Structure 1
């Protein structure tokens, strides 16, 4: 497995749970040393976090300034829109199995191949839109395994909110949740009109008194990376300081 520092690598990962193969990305920091234990960031829509969010550049800037701890960044990209819905959407046909894949197969691979801290509080899940919904699904299903989650404009409906109501262990979670003020009426990637603002406000009302730590922001902007990218720096400081 290639381990060149300062570079985004990718592998083909065979999942026994889903009987399928998936691309997994991983970023090795410039100052990487296996003498140190690392935190872990897992991004869903991984290629967008690297391409549009430039997450690795923000990490290196904060790390050089010694504002955050050492971390490995893992990316879970999507090959096409249909795949993204089937795996990341709470209503997708592979959603539940992909949640299990993330917690068991993917996390075991990360801990086996990298020097990690191996505790829930050292792991942060990140996603935007449907990928944020998926990050939340993983966190509420396995809150002891993944204690931190950044959810940028997640897709939310009443059935999804009900999942939080049925979970008794949400007090383990540290969540950073954002939504854009211009997300009350926009065209989604599937070309449908959508309102994410009001459902996310409803989710906020439900979560505000139930989590160990909960940060909620309504941002100026829409359902685009121009709105989300500036949040990555404060989010990494929040979870990795």
Structure 2
């Protein structure tokens, strides 16, 4: 990969009433960005991790340059602390509903005002790893007319998530890319538990396969770390955002 990034990196801040604080945003815009055309949008929960550990701007930059990926604007939403992350992303925690409202009612209007975005849900992808993957999936299930694609690596899956999938009935157009590591059988979570992520993810696979969606599932030979997620991002991106 080239050392020089062709696209641009910037930051923005949005004052969120739902989160009751200012939320920092990390933004990548592709090279030759122009307000005269419309772009796909990729929103990454765990934004700082995606930008730094996942190196997603670099990966997208290269794939666009190689004409394998369509031009996309990436917006990373960092979490302020591990404790706050759990409150926002875990489907049974206190700020989960507020975070979903933030995504739909504050972040999307902000981005639509700031950038020329395609209006179709299929041009708006949510990405997340672990709990960030969980909240990305749940947001798309709840708001399928806003978010039409999900890229999730090793999401936490519990009964709340499985129930949400079983209740989903208006998501025919959804596209999901879902990966889990075969060694994720004893994952230490942010609240101190040690959980088997692999078996619940296989249950989620069976539930999602029952739906009329574009669903891609795979298992990699690895554990619950960015070492493996980073390597797989390219495949998820090319599956969901191929150059056409």
TM bracket (short chain): over 0.9
For 1:13 and 1:225, locate their aligned partners in 2 and report how far apart those are by CA, in whole Å: 27
Mapped pair 1:53 → 2:63: no
For 1:211 and 1:179, locate their aligned partners in 2 and report how far apart those are by CA, in whole Å: 21
RMSD between aligned alpha carbons? 1.6
* Superposed displacement of residue 190, structure 1: 4.1
For 2:82 and 2:212, locate their aligned partners in 1 and report how far apart those are by CA, in whole Å: 32
For 1:61 and 1:119, locate their aligned partners in 2 and report how far apart those are by CA, in whole Å: 25
* Superposed displacement of residue 84, structure 1: 0.3
8 Å contact from structure 2 (residues 86, 190) kept in 1: no
TM-score, normalization by structure 1: 0.94
8 Å contact from structure 1 (residues 41, 73) kept in 2: yes
Mapped pair 1:73 → 2:77: no
* Superposed displacement of residue 144, structure 1: 1.4
* Superposed displacement of residue 73, structure 1: 0.3
- Give 3-state SS (helix, strand or coil) of 2:172's partner: helix
* Superposed displacement of residue 23, structure 1: 1.3
- Counterpart in the other structure of 1:183: 184
- Counterpart in the other structure of 2:151: 150
- Give 3-state SS (helix, strand or coil) of 2:80's partner: coil
8 Å contact from structure 1 (residues 174, 211) kept in 2: no
Mapped pair 1:108 → 2:109: yes
TM-score, normalization by structure 2: 0.93
For 2:129 and 2:76, locate their aligned partners in 1 and report how far apart those are by CA, in whole Å: 13
Mapped pair 1:21 → 2:14: no
- Give 3-state SS (helix, strand or coil) of 1:145's partner: coil
Which runs of structure 2 are paired with 1:161-172 in the superposition (5 Å)?
161-172=162-173
Give runs of ≥4 in structure 1 deviating > 4 Å. Answer: none
Measured against aligned partners, the alpha-carbon deviations of 1:192-212 in whole angstroms (never above 9, x if no partner) come to 312100111111111112042
- Counterpart in the other structure of 2:214: 213
- Give 3-state SS (helix, strand or coil) of 1:21's partner: strand
- Counterpart in the other structure of 1:139: 140
Measured against aligned partners, the alpha-carbon deviations of 1:58-103 in whole angstroms (never above 9, x if no partner) come to 1111101111111100011011111100101111211011101101
| Range moving further from structure 2, 202-211 or 126-135 | 202-211
Consecutive unaligned residues in structure 2, runs of 5 or more: 1-5
